[in-house]
Structure 1
Amino acid sequence: MLGKIFQNIFKTMIAVSAMVALTGSPSYAHCNSTDMKETAKAVELRQAQRDLWIGHVFWVRNVALATKAGDVKAAQVAEQNVVKNARAIADSVAPVYGKPAADKLFGLLAGHYGAVKEYMTAAYAGNEVAKDAAVAKMTGNANEIATFLSSANPNWPKETLMRLLSAHAGHHIAQIEAFAKNDYATEAEIWDAMKDHMYMIADALAAGIVKQFPKKF
């Protein structure tokens, strides 16, 4: 039963990722139009966001993998880097939105990781009730992040952000379920999809900033 549920989650997340990539919102599509030439500063911003968001999934994956292996030290180091990366992601928006906004984003990212970690703990313990509670937290947190970001930048529509963030949460869930089952072949597929999706999120965020502050980029 769990195997079928897991497979459906994975397939749904891939479909959602593809849908966002193809249809997106008008503003997101415009920002990423191939007709628009990127300046050197815009390219630098996009690449920096990609590096930061890939760092997020890399270190969270390390926490999940080390925890499954029972390597407490490795898990602790990975978690320290999850926090460090979240701070870096938040601080990356400070130059345009200010430190209070960066601090708010850091708190929201901490909430995201906390919910993912709760799901991991529940999945490894086989606690279905706790898993459901963690999913509810992830969903609520995604809504908070989408609301916060869309209020800061009109080029980040809340609906688009919710689709992106929901797919991202689904990747975390599918990855943890694969680790719980020792299904590393499937996890490898999820990891590839997760990385591609992180680039999608990073590109959307960078494009929105460039469009909102064209004189800076």
Structure 2
Amino acid sequence: MKNKWLLALTLAFVISMTQAVAPVQAMVGENPDCISPKVVQLKGEMEKVWIDHTIWTRSYIVSAISNRPDQKDVLDRLMRNQQDIGNVIKPYYGEAAGNKLADLMREHIRIAVKIVAAAKAGNQSEVDKLEADWHKNADDIAKFLSAANPNWQFKELQDMLYTHLQLITEIVVSCIKGDWKADIAATDKNEIHMIHLADILTEGIVKQFPEKF
């Protein structure tokens, strides 16, 4: 009798739990606002590489302007970040496309390195020339990405990249002047801006490849 009572109680518990879980599962499956683990993973990976981009770019600027002995090591780490950015898109666009983006991003950094040196030397004419090259490179990055994904609009990406260049310029100028509050403010803005860019890229990939998520 006791065993029958325990069996009945167990069955009642199982049925009640099943009834409680079923509506939750149905809601998750039907709710368009639910984010899949794969989307969360991509969002995290994308944001990390672009946050790293802001961190190591600023670290290089400080190191170069201050003549720190870690300048080469910081630049090496910054260059590795450009490959990290390319690697994030490889699962969706392939090895060649990821490496192409990394090449374009490395050129972005090579020009930035020259700009820092010219600005530090007070050579404004050289800075102006290099900034034109910098914006041309930004155009190339925006063209490459917008050609790969119809959800990535060229003008939106171009505007995002141009703003990034402006914020980096503000950091360089502030560091040369020793205006650390302005440097910190521009760095904060740049980080938030790059997270926004990362989210635009993530959203575009999810829309283009819904079957992967």
Return the TM-score normalized by structure 2: 0.83
2:212 is the alignment partner of 1:216: yes
> Displacement, 1:142?
0.6
Partner of 2:82: 86
Higher relative contact order (CA 8 A, sep 6+): 1
Give CA-to-partner distance per residue, 1:115-139, whole Å, 9 cap, x none. 1111111111110111101110111
- Taking the TM superposition and a 5 Å limit, the aligned residue runs for 1:61-100 are 61-71=58-68, 73-100=69-96
* Aligned equivalents of 1:196, 1:157: Cα separation in 2: 20
2:43 is the alignment partner of 1:43: no
Partner of 2:120: 124
Q: Is the 8 A contact 2:65 2:116 kept in 1?
A: no
Q: Which stretches in structure 2 are left out of the alignment for 5+ residues? A: 1-31
- Taking the TM superposition and a 5 Å limit, the aligned residue runs for 1:1-217 are 36-71=33-68, 73-217=69-213
Give CA-to-partner distance per residue, 1:96-151, whole Å, 9 cap, x none. 10011011111100111111111111111110111101110111001000000000
Identity of aligned residues (%): 31
* Aligned equivalents of 2:34, 2:105: Cα separation in 1: 31
> Displacement, 1:40?
1.4
Partner of 1:13: none
Give CA-to-partner distance per residue, 1:67-111, whole Å, 9 cap, x none. 11111x311111010111111110111111001101111110011
Letter in 2 for 1:195: E
**Secondary structure at 1:93 match in 2:** helix
* Aligned equivalents of 2:88, 2:211: Cα separation in 1: 18
* Aligned equivalents of 2:202, 2:177: Cα separation in 1: 36
C-alpha RMSD over aligned residues: 1.0
Of the two, which has the highest radius of gyration?
2
* Aligned equivalents of 1:160, 1:37: Cα separation in 2: 26
> Displacement, 1:37?
3.2
Q: Which stretches in structure 1 are left out of the alignment for 5+ residues? A: 1-34
* Aligned equivalents of 1:160, 1:120: Cα separation in 2: 27
Return the TM-score normalized by structure 1: 0.82
Give CA-to-partner distance per residue, 1:31-84, whole Å, 9 cap, x none. xxxx7432111111111111110111111111110111111x311111010111
Moved over 6 A (4+): none
* Aligned equivalents of 1:174, 1:209: Cα separation in 2: 31
Q: Across the two proteins, how many residue pairs are aligned to each other?
A: 182
